[in-house]
Structure 1
Amino acid sequence: MDCRFETAETRRNKCAACYRQFNKVEHLVEHMKISYHSVHEPTCGICRKHCRSFESLREHLIGPLPKQECREIFANRGCKFCLKVLDSPNSRRIHQQKCQLSGLNGISGRFSNMGIRDNLTTGGGATTRGPQVVALACKMVGGGSDGSLDLCGRVCLIDEHENIIFQCYVNPLIPITNYRYETTGMRQEYLRDAMPLKLVQRKIQDFLCNGEPIWTIRSRGGKAKILVGHGLDHDLASLQIEYPTTKIRDTAKYPPLMKTSKLSNSLKYLTQVYLGYDIQNGIQDPYDDCVAAMRLYMRMKTQIHKIEDYPLASDPQNRNNFATWRQSELERMSPEQMLEISRSDYYCWCMDSSYSL
């Protein structure tokens, strides 16, 4: 709706976050109950519209059917990677040079046949700067009669500074029938003396738990590490490792990075669009995947959002924010007041920066 023809009544029925217009204020209240708008949503730096994901924000700014006024300003002053809007074209140029990260340029090739690298240690205490963060990735070979069963043939763990902590070939529990050389670069002789899966499982799980029994690991604090990756359910299942979901940061499941609420983007796509370089071309190294996932995590973690005492809709203190018995009170609120009490339905990774240990 053209804002020139908005009345006081239509403005009252317009969502202060996504700008969706409703015929009646009670419809706006119902929308706010299920939308979970919050300060943690990707937001247009021009018109301040909230979007559910960065994909939605990208469509709003770039296309195929962008908001025209925002598109024109973004084309002149916007960063195509992080989608921020800068003060001037020159500021955008300087910012985007830093925002576009470089590829690994052969680093993975130097590591590809180095065999075992094992710097796993446990028992280190948590530090005051925040929880320890590591990224994990596996490369799969094939098992079963047709080679379609995914088996972990190689695993890599890195720290937040992109240093390799652990890397080895893995000897799975059942025979390999397809080494998938075109993408894994693995041959039979590489896995002949590979580390048994059970040993890999125990070493990695002990390292992640860092001396804490898995059933005592808390979502905040403690010594257990935050685990970053892409499609970690698949990787952990192939390693037969269990780890608390509250300690997992999966770029395939993080709502702001997803294609839709049910569909994930590939790590290759996310790296190209949000980091500015290509991965997974030809023979693939799990180190490259670890680095890409860690860089995406760090980019999401370092976003600056308003600090709230109880930032999640699931927090007990927010239970009655949009309760049915408050309907009359909610209908008297302005859209801005309703947005103020609305909370996110997902854990924003920016909160990892404010861990209290």
Structure 2
Amino acid sequence: MYRNKCAACYRQFNRMEHLVEHMRTSFHSGHEPSCGICGKHCRSFESLREHLIGPLPKQECRDVFAYQGCRFCLKVFDSPNARRVHQERCQLSGLDAGLIARFANLGLRDNLSMGRGQQVVALACKMVGGGSDGSLDLCARVCIIDEQENIIFHSYVKPPIPVTNYRYETTGIRPEYLRDAMPTRVVLRKIQDFLCNGEPMWKIRPRAGGKARILVGHGLDHDLESLQIEYRPEMLRDTAKYPPLMKTSKLSNSLKYLTQAYLGYDIQTGIQDPYEDCVATMRLYMRMRSQAHRIEDYPLASDPQNRNNFVSWRQSDLERMTPEQMLEISRSDYYCWCLDSYI
């Protein structure tokens, strides 16, 4: 008979020592997505979505969620009317075609400047093909926006090697757009200086009072590599690698899917624009950052003050704890973006 039940994910174990081992490795915390009906913790929003509206949902939770739950942020409300009022705000609208068409021929916009305090910006690139078969990704267009979705930098980029495939069907880029474009090395210097904001690279930390900017994007490693930009990993907020936004298999979701599922509109139809991608990643970031989680002095398992999250506790002490007490001392193994609200 199972008697030892995890207070977070509700898994049951027939021996207390097995529950303790589960808690050592699960890193349950208040930063995990959780069901607003039964309280179950999930490792990702995809897992929570399956719990509520998947092929085999929990029946009781599904029935309540169908009337009182928001299918975008997955919150549960007191009444169907409260849900309707919320969902009108939660479902965001996409950029209209006229706006996208205007930005498609925008040309250079350079408002990069040093500023006081830490800021958040989103970056997106569009790639053309290089190499003999055109499969090598070369950045040919880059866009950066601020938190209010204003463009602060936009430019076509002249790749360092010849372009062999302009991928016009998705990029909309023609040879004449790149003929007099800004060279990659110039774009690199401009963006890197802007992100560091006067701070030496070695000094950059995600701390209060820092000057360096937080950079949001989707597949940022690929974008930064194509621009030959080096930046501190602690300052990156990548929607392709953020655990709550990943698949239950721990693989990345596409930006197109994330935008449709969590913001409620479609992107990347026809010719794609980096401004549209910037807006989508910034909106996803802001939605994740705005989550109301319990404030903790040391919210990460890696913080020394957490005694390495169970490792230093004696087995006998842990086995005398209740599941709720073990959950109380458990901490997250990833940096929740809600913590940016306190920087």
Bucket of the pairwise TM-score, normalised by the shorter protein:
over 0.9
Aligned to 1:213: 200
Is the 1:255–1:261 Cα contact (8 Å) retained in structure 2?
no
Is the 2:16–2:319 Cα contact (8 Å) retained in structure 1?
yes
Aligned to 1:241: 229
- Distance between the aligned counterparts of 1:158 and 1:321, measured in 2? 38
- Distance between the aligned counterparts of 1:187 and 1:349, measured in 2? 38
Q: 1:39 aligns with which of 30, 47, 51?
A: 30
Asked if 1:284 corresponds to 2:272, the answer is yes
Amino acid at match of 1:120: L
User: Displacement of 1:319 after TM fit?
Assistant: 2.2
Amino acid at match of 1:22: F
- Distance between the aligned counterparts of 1:41 and 1:285, measured in 2? 33
Asked if 1:224 corresponds to 2:216, the answer is no
Aligned length: 341
Asked if 1:309 corresponds to 2:297, the answer is yes
Aligned to 1:201: 188
Aligned to 1:5: none
The 5 A counterparts of 1:1-357 are 10-11=2-3, 13-106=4-97, 107-122=99-114, 124-126=115-117, 131-221=118-208, 222-260=210-248, 262-323=250-311, 326-355=314-343
Q: 1:208 to 1:21 in 2, by over 3 A?
A: same
- Distance between the aligned counterparts of 1:24 and 1:324, measured in 2? 21
Q: 1:281 to 1:33 in 2, by over 3 A?
A: same
Is the 2:23–2:326 Cα contact (8 Å) retained in structure 1?
yes
TM-score, with structure 2 as normaliser = 0.98
- SS of 2:207's equivalent? coil
Aligned to 1:3: none
**Pairwise CA RMSD:** 1.0
Q: 1:321 to 1:194 in 2, by over 3 A?
A: closer
Q: 1:321 to 1:262 in 2, by over 3 A?
A: closer
- SS of 2:13's equivalent? coil
Is the 1:141–1:153 Cα contact (8 Å) retained in structure 2?
yes
- Distance between the aligned counterparts of 1:135 and 1:302, measured in 2? 17
Q: 1:25 to 1:121 in 2, by over 3 A?
A: same
Is the 1:279–1:288 Cα contact (8 Å) retained in structure 2?
yes
TM-score, with structure 1 as normaliser = 0.94
Aligned to 1:4: none
- Distance between the aligned counterparts of 1:97 and 1:320, measured in 2? 43
- Distance between the aligned counterparts of 1:330 and 1:54, measured in 2? 29
Q: Deviations over 1:118-163 (max 9, x none)?
A: 00002x221xxxx300000000000000100000000000000000
- Distance between the aligned counterparts of 1:118 and 1:324, measured in 2? 52
- Distance between the aligned counterparts of 1:187 and 1:114, measured in 2? 14
Runs of 4+ in structure 1 over 4 Å off: none
- SS of 2:12's equivalent? coil
Is the 1:99–1:275 Cα contact (8 Å) retained in structure 2?
yes
- SS of 1:93's equivalent? helix
User: Displacement of 1:109 after TM fit?
Assistant: 1.3
Q: 1:120 to 1:40 in 2, by over 3 A?
A: same
User: Displacement of 1:110 after TM fit?
Assistant: 1.1
- Distance between the aligned counterparts of 2:334 and 2:305, measured in 1? 16
Q: Deviations over 1:218-257 (max 9, x none)?
A: 1213100000000000000000000001000000000000
Q: Deviations over 1:257-276 (max 9, x none)?
A: 00136310000000000000
Amino acid at match of 2:70: C
Q: Deviations over 1:22-72 (max 9, x none)?
A: 010000000000000000000000000000000000000001110000000
Is the 2:100–2:276 Cα contact (8 Å) retained in structure 1?
yes
- Distance between the aligned counterparts of 1:320 and 1:59, measured in 2? 31
Q: Deviations over 1:179-217 (max 9, x none)?
A: 000000000011111001000000000000001111111
- Distance between the aligned counterparts of 1:14 and 1:139, measured in 2? 49
Is the 2:216–2:282 Cα contact (8 Å) retained in structure 1?
yes
Amino acid at match of 1:317: Q
